[in-house]
């Protein structure tokens, strides 16, 4: 009987960089214990230490292709955990590191080329489809907080709580559950074939552009009208209290006020869509719109919009 030596970290890293998801899953499993040890040494036992490890895992998924020294990937992973933990110790308010902070971690981690937008990084690697197909197996409420936390600009606990209309403590609980379940699914599905996740994002981007153009013209094309049936409901801060509202009247009020919205970023899963916008106000408007907002849509299985919530990051819920 011939016993084969286990693959080295360098071999696994190079295989992961070439798109082999099983290699990345094995690499993360191999280094989970030392990563947790670093977090525990800085944060002690508790949810913060587990969150720091999970943040490092997400960063590794996003940045594995940029590691310059594959043999030192263990030190790279531990450095990310160390930086995540230190940032938590410096935090002034209860929030997990946002995307900007995660990009700082990417910059500080050895062997990477600096920050980049998460979706563009994921799109650059063959890991993208594996990650998004694994996320699709999570319950909707868990997937929503994970999408907001790691793939949108709505990243703090307070902002996610406002977007989902849940307490901050529930945000923490759901994120912890989502990370744990995602890790399980990733390891279980590492060797499977995965659907092309970029196609859904690209289709959603085209839909967003058509919808925004129709809203500014005051008339939506037929293919967009079919996605917003009469039972579609506007929820959240823009809803008229005590009434069931369709989103189109709110779009018309925005058009008449002269406020323009420009698509900045798209996050999409089969039943959750997030369109992030920048806005511009006409001169002298009495109630100007904040410079950034997001459309958070829940969809039916046929892709029609069930509900729309407009979220203003950084503003109180």
pLDDT of residue 284: 86
User: Cα separation of 265 and 288, whole Å?
Assistant: 22
Between residues 242 and 210, which one has the greater pLDDT? 210
What residues contact 6, with CB distance under 8 A and at least 6 apart? none
Q: What is the DSSP letter of 238?
A: T
Which tokens hold the place of 184? 């399980």
On average, the pLDDT of the chain sits at: 81
Section 225-230 average pLDDT: 96
- Global model pTM greater than 0.85: no
The pLDDT of residue 204: 94
CA dist 160 and 154 (Å) reads 6
pLDDT at 187: 65
């Amino acid at each position: 009987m011939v016993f084969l030596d286990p693959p080295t970290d360098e071999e696994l890293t190079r295989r992961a960089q070439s798109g082999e998801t099983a290699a990345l899953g094995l690499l993360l499993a191999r280094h989970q214990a030392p990563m947790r040890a670093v977090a525990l040494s800085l944060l002690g036992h508790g949810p913060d230490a587990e969150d720091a490890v999970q943040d490092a895992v997400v960063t590794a998924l996003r940045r594995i292709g940029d590691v310059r020294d594959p043999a030192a990937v263990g030190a790279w992973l531990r450095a990310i955990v160390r930086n995540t933990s230190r940032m938590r110790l410096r935090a002034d308010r209860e929030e997990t590191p946002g995307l900007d902070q995660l990009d700082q971690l990417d910059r500080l981690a050895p062997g990477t080329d600096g920050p980049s937008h998460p979706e563009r990084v994921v799109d650059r690697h063959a890991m993208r489809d594996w990650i998004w197909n694994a996320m699709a197996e999570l319950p909707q409420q868990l997937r929503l907080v994970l999408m907001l936390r790691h793939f949108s600009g709505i990243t703090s606990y307070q902002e996610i709580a406002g977007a989902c209309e849940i307490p901050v403590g529930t945000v923490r609980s759901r994120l912890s559950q989502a990370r744990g379940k995602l890790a399980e699914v990733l390891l279980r599905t590492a060797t499977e074939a995965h659907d092309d996740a970029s196609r859904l994002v690209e289709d959603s981007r085209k839909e967003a552009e058509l919808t925004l153009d129709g809203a500014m013209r005051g008339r939506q094309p037929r293919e967009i009208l079919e996605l917003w049936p009469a039972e579609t409901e506007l929820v959240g801060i823009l809803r008229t209290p005590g009434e069931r509202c369709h989103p189109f009247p709110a779009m018309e009020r925005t058009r008449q006020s002269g406020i323009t919205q420009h698509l900045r970023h798209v996050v999409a899963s089969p039943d959750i869509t997030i369109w992030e916008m920048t806005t511009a106000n006409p001169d002298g408007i009495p109630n100007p719109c904040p410079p950034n907002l997001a459309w958070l849509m829940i969809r039916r299985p046929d892709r029609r919009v069930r509900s729309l919530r407009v979220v203003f990051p950084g503003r109180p819920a």
